[in-house]
Chains A and B, each alone.
Chain A
Amino acid sequence: MYWQLFASFWKIGTFTIGGGYVMIPLMEKEVVERRKWLSQEEFLDQLALSQAMPGVFAVNMATAIGYRQGGWFGIVCAVAGNILMPIALILLLAIFFRHFRDNVIVERIFMGLRPAVVALIAAPVFNMAKRAQVSWRNVWIPVGSALLIWLLGVSPIWVILAAAAGGLLYGFLKGRKEGSR
C-alpha cells in the first residue's frame, strides 16, 4: 500500500506540467477511479481543504490522502513520490542553465520568454478576481494589496496576515450582529 501511494503520486507529479491545478484530473483518475482510496465526494472535500490551506496545493493533496491511507509514513511516501522527479529534473536544468546562461542562443530564447511569463502571471489575475467574487464594494482589498506590495515594497506576508485578521474580525462582528437579532 505504501508502494501504491508512492507510485500513484510519482505518476501524478511526473506527468503533469504547469502546476498543481493541472494535476487534478490525473489525481482524480488515480485516487478515485483506479485505487478507490476516496469517493468522488470525499475527493472534492479534500480538494477544497487543500486549496484553503497554505502551501503547495499538490503536496497538500498528497498529505491528506497519504495520511488517510497510511498515517505518517503514508504522508512521506505520497509526498516524496509527488516531488522527487520534479526536484531532480529542475536541479538538472538549473545546473544546465547556469553553464549556458551566457550562450547567445539561450539568451535569445529567454529574451522571448520573459515578457511571456509576465503575461502568464497577469492573465489569471482577472479570472481569479471573478472567482474570489471581487465587486465594487471590496475591490479596494485586492487593489490596495497590490499597490502596497508593488509601490511601497510591503511584504506579502503582512498583507496576508492583515487580510486574515480583518476577515476574522469582520466575520465575528457580523455573526454577533446576526445572532443578537
Chain B
Amino acid sequence: MILLELFWTFLKIGIFTFGGGYAMIALIQNELVVKREWLTTQEFTDILAVSQMTPGPVGINTATYAGYTAVMNQGGPAWEAIFGSLIASFAVILLPVLLMIVVFNYLSHHRDNPAIEAMFRVMRLAVVGLIAAAALVLLNGASFGTFGLNTQFVVSCLLFATVFYFSYRHKTNPILLIVASGVMGLIVYSL
C-alpha cells in the first residue's frame, strides 16, 4: 500500500530532519531515490529546482512534489497521487509539531544542560556532512550529462562553477541563479 508507505517514510524524514530544508534533502534522497527507488535522481533534482523557486518552506514543497511523483511513478491514478502528496506533507510535519508542543510545555528549561547542548553541537556538525553528501550524490550523469568533452558536460560544469561562485561568494539570490541557469540552458541547448 503505497500511501501507507509514503506516510511512514515521511514520518521518519520529518523527525530526523535537523537543521532545515537542506538537511531534509539528504534524507529524502536516501529514502526515496536510493532505498525505495520511487524517484530517479534526475526527477529528484528537478523537484529540488521547482521546490526552491516556488513560495513556501522548501521541506513542505519537496515533500508535496515527491509524494505526488512517487505515486505517479508507481502507476497510481492522479487522485491517489494528489492524496499521496498531502499525506507526505502531513507526515513530514506531524511528529515535529507534537515534539514542539512537548518541548514548549516541559523541556524548555533543560536547554542549558551541558549534555543536551553537546548533543546539538555534534548534530550540527553531522548535518554539515549530511548536506555535503546530498550534493555529492547529485554530482553524476543525471545532473551533468555523460562525462567527457561534450557540450552538455562542459556547459553543466561551467554552470555549476558559476552558480557555486555567486552563491558562495556573493550570496546571490538562489531564485535569480536558478532562473538564469534555466534561461542559459534553453539558449545554449537550442543553438
Q: Which residues of A contact B (CB under 8 A)?
A: 13-21, 23, 49-60, 63-64, 67-68, 75, 79, 82-83, 85-87, 89-91, 93-95, 97-98, 105, 108-129, 131-134, 138, 141-150, 153, 155-157, 159-164, 166-168, 170-172, 174-175
> Are A17 and B54 CB-contacts (below 8 A) given A110-B46, A132-B127?
yes
Query: Which 3 pairs from chain A and chain B are nearest by CB?
Result: A112-B185, A86-B56, A55-B96
Chain A neighbourhood of B68, CB < 8 A? 91, 94-95
Number of A-B contacts (CB under 8 A): 384
Chain B residues numbered 105-155 whose CB sits less than 8 Å from any CB in chain A: 108, 111, 113-139, 142-145, 152, 155
Q: Which residues of B contact A (CB under 8 A)?
A: 12, 14-27, 30-31, 34-35, 42, 45-46, 48-61, 64-65, 68-69, 72, 78, 82, 85-86, 89, 92-93, 95-97, 99-101, 103-104, 108, 111, 113-139, 142-145, 152, 155-157, 159-164, 167-168, 173-175, 177-178, 181-186, 188-190
Question: Which of A23, A114, A156, A171 is B115 in contact with, Cβ under 8 Å?
Answer: A171
A-B contacts besides A55-B15, A117-B143, A162-B126, 16 pairs, CB < 8 Å? A17-B52, A83-B56, A85-B56, A90-B51, A90-B54, A90-B60, A108-B185, A118-B138, A120-B163, A120-B178, A142-B125, A157-B30, A160-B18, A160-B126, A171-B114, A172-B115
B181 touches A163 (CB 8 A): no
B167 touches A119 (CB 8 A): yes
Question: Which of B12, B129, B144, B183 is A115 in contact with, Cβ under 8 Å?
Answer: B144
Chain B neighbourhood of A85, CB < 8 A? 55-56
B164 touches A112 (CB 8 A): no
Q: A134–B65 Cα gap in the complex (Å)?
A: 33
Chain A neighbourhood of B115, CB < 8 A? 167-168, 171-172, 175
Q: A155–B145 Cα gap in the complex (Å)?
A: 26
Q: A159–B164 Cα gap in the complex (Å)?
A: 26
B174 touches A86 (CB 8 A): no
Chain A neighbourhood of B159, CB < 8 A? 112, 115-116, 119
Q: A174–B113 Cα gap in the complex (Å)?
A: 12
A49 touches B138 (CB 8 A): no
B119 touches A121 (CB 8 A): no
A115 touches B57 (CB 8 A): no
